[in-house]
Structure 1
Amino acid sequence: MTDDVVDRVAALPFFAALNPQQLRQLCEAGMPASYQPGERIFAEGGTADRFWLIETGDVALDIRVPGRGDQVIETLAGGAVLGWSWLHPPYRWQFGASARERVEAIAFDAATVRDRCDADPVFGYAMLRLFTPVITERLQATRLRLLDLYATAAQVGRP
Structure 2
Amino acid sequence: MTSTTNLSAGLTAEQRELLMRVAHEVSFDAGTRLFEEGRRADRFWIVRTGTVALDLRVPGRRAAVIESLGYGELIGWSWHFPPYVWHLGAEAMSPVRAYEFDAEAVRAVCAQDAEFGRAIAAWVGRVVADRLHASRIRLLDLYAPYGSGSPL
TM-score range relative to shorter protein: 0.7 to 0.9
1:66-85, aligned counterparts within 5 Å? 66-85=59-78
Cα pair 2:29 2:92 within 8 Å, conserved: yes
> Could you tell me which residue of structure 1 aligns to residue 87 of structure 2?
94
Letter in 2 for 1:67: G
Distance 2:116 2:42 in 1: 19
Gaps of 5+ in 2: 1-5, 148-152
> Could you tell me which residue of structure 2 aligns to residue 128 of structure 1?
121
Q: Secondary structure at the match of 2:34?
A: strand
Distance 2:72 2:13 in 1: 18
Question: Structure 1: which 4+ aligned runs deviate by more than 3 Å?
Answer: none
Counterpart of 1:140 (choices 133, 140, 147) is 133
The alpha-carbon deviation at position 26 of structure 1 amounts to 1.3
Cα pair 1:15 1:130 within 8 Å, conserved: no
Higher relative contact order (CA 8 A, sep 6+): 2
Letter in 2 for 1:72: V
Q: Secondary structure at the match of 2:7?
A: coil
The alpha-carbon deviation at position 69 of structure 1 amounts to 2.5
Cα pair 1:34 1:103 within 8 Å, conserved: yes
> Could you tell me which residue of structure 2 aligns to residue 38 of structure 1?
31
Distance 1:49 1:65 in 2: 24
Cα pair 2:8 2:72 within 8 Å, conserved: no
Distance 1:139 1:23 in 2: 25
**Greater Rg over alpha carbons, structure:** 1
Distance 2:145 2:69 in 1: 24
The aligned length equals 141
Q: Which has the higher helix share?
A: 1
Cα pair 1:61 1:97 within 8 Å, conserved: yes
> Could you tell me which residue of structure 2 aligns to residue 7 of structure 1?
none
Letter in 2 for 1:51: F
Gaps of 5+ in 1: 1-12, 155-159
Distance 1:45 1:28 in 2: 29
Counterpart of 1:18 (choices 12, 17, 34) is 12
